Amino acid sequence: MLESLKMTNDYKNNKEELWLNYLYNTKEKNYNVLNVKSIKQINKHSVLNYVKRTLEILNDINNKECLDNEVLFLVEETLKWSEVAKTGSKKDRKRWSDNKYDLFCHNIGSSEIYNETNNNIVVSTLIRTHGLIGQYIKGEVNLEKNILLYELVRDNKISKDKLRKVLQILNRCIIEAVSKDLYNKVESRVNTIIEYIMDNEIDGNINPRLKLEELNGGLSENDIEYIDSLESHFTRKLKMFFEEFELWYYESALKEFCISDQIKILLYIFENKPEGVEYLSFEFFMHSMYLDYKDKREINIYKKRIIENFLKDISLEDIVNHNINPNPHIDFNIKRINKSLVFNFKFSIQAKKLIEFCEVACTSNSLYQKATYMLYDLFGFRKDAYDRFYNEIDYLNTMNNSLKEKAIILDYIVGNSVLDVGPGGGALLDLIEKKMPDLDIKGIDLSENVINELAKKKLREGHIWNIIKGDALNLSKYFEKDSLDTIIYSSIIHELYSYIPYNGKKFNKETIKVALQEAYSVLKVGGRIIIRDGIMSTPVNSYRIIEFNDEEDIKKLDRYINDFKGRKITYEKINDNTVKMLINDAMEFLYTYTWGEESYPLEVQEQFGYFTLEEYINFIKENLPNSKIIESKSYLQKGYEENLFPKINMYDENMNVVSLPDSTSIIVIEKEN
């Protein structure tokens, strides 16, 4: 076993080893968020554990290959010291800072710390350049940053063959310690880049679009179109930005933001950078943008929304002309530390406290709605529930899980072009693509979060469907007249009805009329509108008696009646755990009761049933001339009874046990001449 590996297992008897002392005696919790599943798993020995993994990989390689002694020494020594700038006691870090070591560029800072007590130029250079090949692959540095390695060969400090072997093993250790799958994925490219370095074939030409593609792990078609549409002076500035800076933690900090917002951030930094800086770190920004939600690392959606809202009102011209209107609660924040520039966003004290309140409230449903509405007010967000914050993650997952039920929609699709209005998590888009891959498949949604998530999903999974950000009440703005064969509304019309204040009024049936007429106008003759949505139960003047197994749940009914936005709901109390309600009042409550507490703040704002099936058909005939109803049927969505009946018993007015009534419909409309 490597001597250094033994030492990591026995710190108490190896305290004199400076590198181990730094790694062990630290309060720093340095980490890359993309390498952890939850923030709470991070501890002060995370860096030590990472270094130990790199040494274990080296030990395995040596056991199999019996490495040359010099090669083994160089790699082992480099691994021991390569991460020390991330650690150290408070006293150590103050001394390093006083010495102006570049602690934000960990490879440089680590080489400077190594040089305090060592004078091996090869090891020092390997520490200084370690990780740069991986950073080059990710787009964070230019290949010329590795020129120091070529100079080792040129100056006869080490042979080309030996350095090649060292770099191959070193990069395997540091990448595989993060992820073996990642190393397998990039191994071939790593070895190719090593050959470029060995032969000094370093191309300094910078292509901004290629850089952004590497930094984001790929670009969507819309991203490419946006970058290509930039005026030349903005592109030149981006090119100069990438030529000047070595980047740290870009992907982890900025990948969740859209390309236009990334470019605004980069141009702001470029326009406001002080002279003499070489390194740009997003480390503080990265750490501030993540938290644990349900024991899993997630982007801090509150901060992300605030930043997006702030950037939305800033143009590229405003940035280069230094003409940004001040915002009392958020601003750019760049700070110079030695040769490094550290970027973050600065929030007011009020904003910080409100964000903290929202972070707590997302796990306390009684506070959730109040917290998010306060956030809307402070930062001027639009006040609708399309922006679901963390509940949107759960909501999209739930929507995707109802895929089997949605599959019935495919039986009614006609023609070559399909539009899914309000595609949510994209499950229906995926299903249509899988079953009908030759179709032109599109989705349209107004939620920025949905658009961003679907764009990433398309890029990640290689889908052929396209997504458009747009208003479901104005489809003719995005599509030509008579251009679509099939338009699908899968559990979305009740949301339009509930959330959109048409002519200043929510829960307005005119909203449904406008939505369907807009769809009809862009539908081809012979094309179809497919509606899967809630309906009211019949007879509408009948009653249901609900007996709660837990009498405390009547309080949930009282709360619901107070909070429900759709209409006035009442009940007659029969005893401590039993109530009598009109059938549709009962069903509206039970829909929300079924979804559970986490969805309550959203579901309480939605009215699922707004027509009976017969009323729906008459409404369509009245407002869509020359239309033909080719399917209209109702059913009970699977899962309702299984979820509800352990909690309640349901009876008719004569106390006969009854099933839940049909609550969902499929209506298919065909456009005739």
In degrees, rounded to 5, the angle at the alpha carbon of residue 568 between the alpha carbons of residues 616 and 592 is 70
Mean pLDDT of the chain: 89
Give the mean model confidence (pLDDT) for residues 279-283. Answer: 94
Distances (CA, A) of 280 to 96, 204, 336: 19, 19, 9
Give the tens place of pLDDT for each residue, 593-622.
887 776 777 788 899 999 999 999 999 999
Q: Is the confidence at residue 57, as pLDDT, over 90? A: yes
Q: Write down the pLDDT at residue 223.
A: 86
Residue 301 pLDDT? 81
pLDDT above 90 (res 239): yes
Tens-digit pLDDT profile for residues 116-133: 999 999 999 999 999 999
Q: Are 125 and 77 in contact (CB under 8 A)?
A: no
| pLDDT, average across residues 215-242 | 91
**How is residue 365 written in tokens?**
């449903």
User: How many CB atoms are closer than 10 A to CB 631?
Assistant: 16
Q: Is pLDDT of 579 > 90?
A: yes
DSSP 319-350: HHTT-PPP-SSEEEEEEEETTEEEEEEEE-HH
Is-contact 129 146, C-beta < 8 A?
Answer: yes
* DSSP label at residue 371: H
pLDDT-derived band at 297 (thresholds 50, 70, 90) equals confident
Choice among 40-54, 83-97, 236-250, 492-506 with the minimum mean pLDDT: 40-54
- pLDDT reported for residue 385: 40
DSSP state letter for 273: P
| Residue % of the chain over a pLDDT of 90 | 67
491-514: per-residue pLDDT in tens? Answer: 999 999 998 888 889 999 999 999
- CA gap 274, 525 in Å, rounded: 62
What pLDDT sits at residue 378?
74
**What beta strand segments (E) does 348-439 contain?**
417-421
Residue with tokens 């109040």: 370
Task: Quote the distance between the C-alpha of residue 289 and its chain's center.
Answer: 11
Diameter over CA atoms, the chain = 98
CA angle 616, 487, 628 (to 5 degrees): 45
Q: What one-character-per-residue DSSP string does 622-648 give?
A: HHSTTEEEEEEEEEPPTTHHHHHTTTE
User: Which whole-number Å values give the CA distances from 495 to 112, 175, 506, in the listed order?
Assistant: 59, 46, 10
**Residue 37: predicted pLDDT:** 80
Q: How many residues make up the chain in this entry? A: 673
pLDDT of 453 strictly over 70: yes
* β-sheet bridge partners, residue 490: 532
Q: Which residue did the predictor score with more confidence, 36 or 486?
A: 486
Of the chain, the percentage scoring pLDDT greater than 70 comes to: 93
CA–CA–CA angle 613, 666, 489 (5° rounding): 110
Q: How confident is the model at residue 364 (pLDDT cuts 50, 70, 90)?
A: low
What is the pLDDT at residue 400? 47
pLDDT the model gives residue 384: 44
Which DSSP category does 652 fall into?
-
- For 19, other C-beta atoms within 10 Å of its C-beta total 24
Q: Is the pLDDT of residue 403 over 70?
A: no
- Torsion angle in degrees (nearest 10) through CA of 359, 365, 370, 374: 20
- What is the spatial distance between Cα 606 and Cα 602, in angstroms, rounded to a whole number? 7
Coil, strand or helix: which one is 609?
coil
Q: Can you tell me the distance from the alpha carbon of 289 to that of 272, in angstroms, rounded to the nearest whole number?
A: 23
What integer is the mean pLDDT of 430-440?
A: 94
Distances (CA, A) of 422 to 49, 200, 468, 595: 45, 52, 10, 20
Q: For residue 268, is pLDDT > 90? A: yes
pLDDT of residue 651: 96
Is the bond into 208 cis (omega within 30 degrees of 0)? no
Q: Which two tokens stand for residue 251?
A: 């992907």
- Predicted pLDDT of residue 368: 62
Per-residue pLDDT, 459: 84
The confidence score (pLDDT) of residue 567 equals 92
Q: Contact at 8 Å (CB) between 437 and 484?
A: no
Structure confidence at residue 323 (pLDDT): 94
More confident of the two residues 59 and 392: 59
pLDDT tens across 66-105, in order? 999 999 999 999 999 999 999 999 999 999 999 999 998 9
Q: What is the mean pLDDT of residues 231-240?
A: 95
How many CB atoms within 10 Å of residue 324? 15
Q: How far is CA 437 from CA 65, 164, 423, 443, 465, in A?
A: 49, 47, 17, 15, 9
3-class state of residue 511 by DSSP: helix
Helix (H) or strand (E) holding 666: strand 664-671
Would you state the pLDDT for residue 353? 84
> Is 382 a residue whose pLDDT tops 80?
no
What mean pLDDT do residues 237-256 have? 93
Q: What are φ and ψ of residue 639, in 5° steps?
A: 105, -25
The whole-number pLDDT of residue 540 equals 95
Supply the pLDDT for residue 365: 53
pLDDT given at position 361: 67
Bridge partners of 344, per DSSP, are 333
Q: Is the dihedral of CA 480, 485, 491, 493 positive or negative?
A: positive
pLDDT at residue 41, as a whole number = 74
pLDDT surpassing 90 at residue 521? yes
Distance in angstroms (rounded) separating the CA atoms of residues 552 and 95: 61
pTM: 0.72
